[in-house]
Amino acid sequence: MDERIKNLRAEAACWPDNPPKGWDAAPGVVPMSVLPRRIGEHGVFIVGGYVRDWLLGRIREDTDMDLASAATPEEVEWHLGADWKIIPTGIDHGTVTIIKDGCKFEHTTFRQDVVCDGRHAVIAFSKSLEEDLARRDFTINAMAFSLVDGRFHDPFGGQEDLRRRLIRAVGDPIRRFKEDLLRSVRALRLASNLKFRIELMTLCALWSLDSEISQNVSIERIAMELEKSLPRAGGFLFFLDALLPKLFASLFPWYEGWDEIVHDHGDFHKVNETVQGHVCECMDRARTPREMWAALCHDIGKVSVFKREGKFAGHEKEGVPLALELCRHFKLSTDLTKYVLDIVEFHGRVGMAQPTMSSRAFVRLLNELRQPESMQALIDFEENVDRPPGTPKRGVEIIKNLYKKHQERAVTPKGKKLITGDDLIALGFLPRLGFGEILEQANAWAIDGLSRDEIINRLLIENLPVYKGKT
C-alpha cells in the first residue's frame, strides 16, 4: 500500500490531465471524467470509506462514493444543476445526491458538530476540510483525496493505521462515541469485516459505554449494521457478545449461555463446538441478508431445550416461537419472517432426510411450508450455510432428488398440477375432509412418475369409500 501511495504522489505532478494509474485500474471505480473537480471556487474531495477501501484494494461496483467540499447544497445546485441531476436527499445535513452518465454519488458540505446527544447531532457548515475530517469516527475513515491535485489529506494517521490493521477513534474515543453511540457498534463491524484489531483506548471506551449503548441505540440501526457486516456477520456477532455483553444480552436474550453449551461430536459438528461457534460460523457462510437472519435464528431453540432437557432433540419446534420473537424484535418484514421460520422449523428434516423417505412424505413436508419457495431456500441453506465444507450432505441430496422429481412430474408445462380438486369432483368424488389426503397422494404418485391416467385409475381403485355411489 505504501508503494501505491508513493507512486500516486509521483504522478500527481501531471494531474488532472493524466490521472494516477492506480485510480483507473481499480475495479468498479467511477471514471475520473465524470467527477466534478470543483464546485465554483471550492475544490472537491473524495472522503470516508471509499478512500479507505481504495487504499486496501477493496473497491467493488457497489461501493458508495462520498464527495465533500465547502460548497453548500444551494451552490451545488447553482453550479452543477445544468449538467447534473441534483436530488436533495439530506438537505438539512448538507447532503445532495448528484447523478450523471449513470453514476451516482453523494456530496456533503464540510461540517462541524455543535451539539450531540449520542443519537442526533446539531451541525453547522464549515469551510475547513480538517474540521470536517475531525468529526469523523475512525482514523481510517478520516482521509480525503483531492480531485483538484490528486493529493491525500490524512491529518490523523489513517494510512498508518491501515498498515497496522488498527481501528482507532479520531481524538478522544469517549467523546467520539458519545457523539453517536452507534459508532461503537460500527467499530466492531469494521474490525470483523476488515479483520483489524481495535486500539486499546478505543476498546476501553467501548467497554465503559456498554450500558449506555444498550439503552440508547435503536434496534433498526443495529439491524442495518448486522446486514452490513456480511460476509463476516458471525465475527461481528462474536465481537458483540465478547466486547459489549450488556448490549448483546438486550438484543439476543435467547442466546444467554450459548458459549457454554457444546454439541456432541458427529457428522455435522466439530469436536467441542459450542452453539455460539456453530451459529457464528453459519453466519459467516451466509451470502445474503436473508441467509444471515436465517443462520442467526436456525438453532435459536437449542439453548432453552438443552437447559431444560440436556439434549438438542426438538430444538426446531422449540425455536419457532423464539425466532418469531426475534423477527418482531428486529422489525423484519412479513415475507422475511416467514422465510426465517421455515428455515428454523424444517432445516433438520431436510438435513437429516433418510433414503427411505417416500414421495408422499416429501409432499407432506412441502405442504407444511409457509411459502412454496422455502423448499429451494432450505436446500440452499443446508448445502451452503448449515453444513460446513467437507461434511456429509446425504439428507440434502435426498431432498434435492425428491424436489426435482416433484417439479418435473407434479406440474405440467403450463404450471398446473396434474390432479386438482376440480378433477376429483368431475370424476365423481364427494367433497369432504379426505380430499386433501387424496390430492396429496395423487401428487406423490406424480413424483414417482405415474401419468395422469395411471393416477386417476389408482385413485378410483384405492378410494372407493369416498367415490359417489359406492358405500
pLDDT score of 24: 47
What local confidence, expressed as pLDDT, does residue 82 receive?
A: 81
| pLDDT single digits (tens) 301-332 | 999 999 999 888 899 999 999 999 999 999 99
Same domain, 332 and 236: no
| Band of pLDDT at residue 192, cut at 50, 70 and 90 | very high
Residues 16 and 155 in one domain: yes
201 confidence band (pLDDT: 50, 70, 90): very high
Rounded to two decimals, what is the model's pTM? 0.79
- Residues 37 and 157 both lie in one domain: yes
Is there a single domain that holds both residue 79 and residue 101? yes
Domain shared by 150 and 266, yes or no: no
Element (H, E) at 423: helix 421-427
The CATH number of the domain holding residue 213 is 1.10.110.30
Give percent above pLDDT 90 in the chain.
Answer: 46
Residue partners of 288: CB distance under 8 A and separation at least 6: 230
**For residue 297, how far is the Cα from the chain centroid?**
13
Question: Could you tell me if 246 and 268 lie in one domain?
Answer: no
Residues of the chain with pLDDT > 70, as a percent, come to 82
Q: Residues with Cβ < 8 Å from 238, sequence gap 6 or more? A: 192, 276, 280
Which of 251, 266, 289 delimits the end of a domain? 251
Q: Which of 223-237, 292-306, 396-410, 430-444 has the lowest mean pLDDT?
A: 430-444
- Up-side HSE of residue 212: CA atoms within 13 Å toward CB? 17
pLDDT at 244 over 90: yes
User: Based on the domain organization, do 17 and 160 belong to the same domain?
Assistant: yes
The answer to whether residues 305 and 450 belong to one domain is: no
DSSP state of 429: B
Per the CB < 8 A criterion, the answer to whether 344 and 326 are in contact is no
Which residues have CB under 8 Å from 329's CB, separation 6+?
219, 251
**How large is the average pLDDT for residues 160-167?**
94
Residues 346, 448 within the same domain: no
The pLDDT value recorded for residue 15 is: 41
Does residue 23 surpass a pLDDT of 60? no
Looking at the structure, tell me whether residues 403 and 414 fall in a common domain: no
Q: State the Rg of the chain over Cα.
A: 29
Residue 45: per-residue pLDDT: 94
Decide if pLDDT at 141 tops 80. yes
Task: Identify the domain containing residue 295 by its residue range.
Answer: 257-409
What is the mean predicted confidence (pLDDT) over 76-105?
85
pLDDT, residue 114, reads: 63
Dist. CA 448–CA 441, nearest whole Å: 11
| pLDDT-based confidence at residue 35 (cuts at 50, 70, 90) | confident
Domain edge (last residue) among 198, 230, 251: 251
Contact between residue 66 and residue 89 where contact means Cβ atoms under 8 Å apart: no
| Number of separate domains in the chain | 4
End-to-end CA distance of the chain: 85
Task: Please compute the mean of the pLDDT values over residues 287-314 and round it to a whole number.
Answer: 93
Given 164, 196, 216, the domain boundary residue is 164
Which three cell numbers, joined as nine digits, stand for 380?
Answer: 440452499
Amino acid at residue number 369: L
Residues 196 and 269 both lie in one domain: no
Q: Is the same domain home to 318 and 397?
A: yes
**Residue 120: predicted pLDDT:** 59
Q: What is the mean pLDDT of the chain?
A: 83
What confidence score (pLDDT) does residue 449 get?
A: 64
pLDDT of residue 407: 78
The CATH number for 144's domain is 3.30.460.10
